Amino acid sequence: METIDNVRDVISLALILLGGLLAVAAGVGILRFPDVLSRMHAATKPQNLGLFSILIAVGLQHPTPAVITSLVLVVGFQVLTSPVAAHMVGRAAYRAKAFPKDQLMVDELAERIEAIEARERDSSDRGGAEAEADAGADRAAQRAAEDEADRIS
């Protein structure tokens, strides 16, 4: 039985070291990468893998139902929230024009946003209640276009 404990300890140690290295790599990437898209990648991928390896190590050391349940919940929340947070950061960076457009392989929102902005400019030239109604419809169309782009990505 002692041999199994030693093997489990060595595997846990390796997983914790791997998790720590990945977390450090994520931090260094956030600090050193030149643009928002690269930093966003560094903030999500290695950080998640590092966390998962540390949680597996904890599960190996304490394989009780309560601990395993807690670890599964932590993994579930991380899997659900990390992509959403990265998506929101990317969306905010896109709207703020915080990176060169030539970095994008595909830009699905550019044409739709340009069309909506052109309609808003046209409607502002007309003025009055009619322009407000058109602007409201344009904002709704822009939100629908962004939602569709979110669904696609």
Higher pLDDT, 152 or 129: 152
Find where tokens 């290695």 sit: 46
pLDDT of residue 134 exceeding 70, the answer is no
Determine the pLDDT at residue 66: 96
Judge if 13 and 66 occupy the same domain. Answer: yes
Q: How confident is the model at residue 60 (pLDDT cuts 50, 70, 90)?
A: very high
Which residue range is the domain that position 32 belongs to? Answer: 2-98
**Residue 132 tokens, joined:** 């407000």
Task: Based on the fold, state whether residues 126 and 82 are members of the same structural domain.
Answer: no
Same domain, 38 and 77: yes
Tell me the percentage of the chain whose pLDDT exceeds 70. Answer: 85
The total number of residues written for the chain in this structure: 153
Q: Are residues 91 and 114 in the same domain?
A: no
Highest mean pLDDT among 15-19, 110-114, 123-127, 135-139: 15-19
Cα-based distances in Å from 88 to 21, 70, 122, 135, 147: 26, 27, 30, 24, 12
Is 14 within the bounds of a domain?
yes
Does any domain span residue 104? no
116 & 81 share domain: no
Separation between Cα atoms, residue 107 and residue 126, nearest integer Å: 31
Average pLDDT of the residues of the chain: 84
Answer whether residue 24 is part of any domain: yes
Calpha distance 149→153 (Å, rounded): 6
> CA-CA distance, 143 to 44, in Å (whole number)?
26
**Given the structure tokens 């808003």, which residue do they identify?**
120
Q: Is the domain of 142 the same as that of 75? A: no
* Number of domains composing the chain: 2
